[in-house]
Amino acid sequence: MASSNPQPQQTVIGDNLRVRSRRRLRACHECDLLVALPPLKPHQRANCPRCDHSLSHRHYRPAERSLAFAITALIALAASLCFPFISFEARGVSNAIQLTDTAFSLVNFHEPFVGVLVLLTIVILPVAYLLSVIWLQIGLLRRAPLPRSRRIARALSHLTPWMMADVFVIGALVSLIKIAGMASIDLGLSFWAFCVYALMLLLTTRSLDTDWMWFSLEGEPLAPEGCRVGEPAAEQGMTGCPTCGLVNRLSHFGRGRCQRCGEPLRFRSPHSVQKTWALLAAATIFYIPANLYPIMTTTSLGSATPSTIIGGVLLFIGHGDWPIALVIFTASVVVPIGKVFALAWLCIRVRRSGESDNKHKRLKLYRITEFIGRWSMIDVFVVSILVALVHAGSLLSITPGPAALAFAAVVVITMLAANSFDARLIWDARDMQPPMPAVLKHQSPYSPVKEVDDA
């Protein structure tokens, strides 16, 4: 008699393979290559095979790890707000400040924008970030996400670039060296607590496992049908969510929302190059008064001495403090000018990109530009600390100059310019490379994901 028909079993196996091929797909945020993530163990990460961008980084006990760092950071911040930060004594006059005085003193000297910017970057935004991490991780440990967890998780990625506690620590050290020759300095308990807070905040951001967090919060819907791994997502009518990483198919108009986190999606950031050019032009305009006008004025025994950015660098050189002069010159002169020229060159090359271009070098330049932009805030933090600390009338005092506002605007605008540039535009002219096969855990020369062991 006829044997049992194997076709239904083969159909089920084929359907299961197709379903598995649509799980854990990611479109690289920097080159748009569609890849499949392998199973990751703790201390392993998966990198894009084309641009080496980190797609996922697995940690051991990610919820407990992030929760511990975040709670420790908040405790250290509370200590830094309750005790004296820095005190000084010169010519019989002494003064001690708390951390928040660095922002409020600028407001008192009619620099509210700079004062609010300092308070936002070192206290308010980091506190919002840490509380959000604690809220999310508690819900994940309970295996029952707390209310509004999805909306809070979406906000985390937008807060990260604007937290600058680590930059403030460097600015405080530069300030101490600047006034060490004119006064005796005493570091309060708040200063050391703030250093611990800055370190814990950095570890919190590094420990957050976004891929695992979104999977635990909302699961992971299957990627759209017809995905071809190893090819750009945009050519397939799809894009990866920049917030949660899920691959989504967009409408014919090139718009949509992520079905997991609700983030608005586009194939490319609309008018990315035009926005970047406009912001670079604004930064260039602000950079002129930032260098022409004094960034602060020092009054000693009734004699006022204005100091520009370059003048401060020359002052450090004159005192023999070459390392500090190099730090200030790099952060306040080299970095802003370098960012403007680098982003302008990238915008020009995007319009003229070809198959023979070295896209990896251009992407590396963009990553460096995006990373170093926040460090230009050192000069702004130096001004905020010195203005709060040194104010003894005509005997000895430091006041902010008009260049402080202009330079703060340069820092913010250049950071916005770097964020507005869509790095995927670098790769839109496709490279002549062989198709990449399905993902493998143990890598082959053409594996679509690099798996790196951090242990």
Render pLDDT for 395-443 as a digit per residue (tens, 0 to 9): 677 888 899 999 999 999 999 999 999 999 988 854 434 333 333 333 3
Q: Flag whether 441 is in a domain.
A: no
Residue 341 sits in which domain range? 62-208+270-426
Q: What is the pTM of this model?
A: 0.84
| Percent of the chain clearing pLDDT 90 (strictly above) | 34
pLDDT beyond 90 at 8? no
Q: Flag whether 238 is in a domain.
A: no
Of 68-72, 245-249, 281-285, the least confident: 245-249
Chain-centroid distance of CA 252 in Å reads: 32
pLDDT tens, 142-154? 888 899 898 999 9
Q: Flag whether 442 is in a domain.
A: no
CA distance 366 to 231: 22
Q: Flag whether 347 is in a domain.
A: yes
Q: What was the pLDDT predicted at 73? A: 97
Chain-centroid distance of CA 71 in Å reads: 21
Q: Flag whether 323 is in a domain.
A: yes
Start-to-end CA span in the chain (Å)? 60
Query: pLDDT band at 349, cuts 50/70/90?
Result: confident
Sign of CA pseudo-dihedral 194, 173, 100, 182: positive
Number of domains into which the chain is organized: 1
Q: Of 58, 217, 219, give the one whose Cα is nearest residue 139.
A: 217
User: Which range has highest mean pLDDT (75-84, 181-190, 297-306)?
Assistant: 75-84
Q: Flag whether 42 is in a domain.
A: no
Q: Flag whether 79 is in a domain.
A: yes
Over the chain, what is the mean pLDDT?
Answer: 83
Q: What was the pLDDT predicted at 196? A: 97
CA distance 411 to 286: 10
Of 45-49, 266-270, 296-300, the least confident: 296-300
Of 91-105, 162-176, 365-379, the least confident: 91-105
Q: Flag whether 368 is in a domain.
A: yes
CA distance 411 to 114: 11
